[in-house]
Amino acid sequence: MSAQDAHFTQFYATPTYLNPAFAGTTLQTRFGAIYRDQWPSIPGSFVTYNFAFDHYLSDLNSGVGLIMMHDRA
């Protein structure tokens, strides 16, 4: 068994993908999405979606986040 992280060119669009500890680091609720389609002309190409959400919880002085990712390789 082997595994690899998906590489996105605009990884900064969803900072929680880069590091989940970024959840709740801003006072605003944050949504983000990134998409990658590598070698689309070849059958069985790599397609990856990533959606992220995070929110600051002032009562707890903390944050909560959700990351959803789909990778077809």
pLDDT at position 2 = 66
| C-beta of residue 64 within 8 angstroms of C-beta of residue 44 | no
Kind of pairing, strands 30-38 and 46-57? antiparallel
Q: In the structure, what pLDDT confidence band is assigned to residue 31 with cuts at 50, 70 and 90? A: very high
Contacts of 23 (CB under 8 A, 6+ apart): 16, 54, 55, 63, 64, 65
> 28 by DSSP, 3-state: which?
coil
The pLDDT of 20-48, averaged and rounded, is 93
Structure tokens at 54: 């995070």
Please write the tens of the pLDDT for every residue from 59-71.
Answer: 999 999 999 999 9
Give the confidence band of 1 by pLDDT, cuts at 50, 70, 90. low
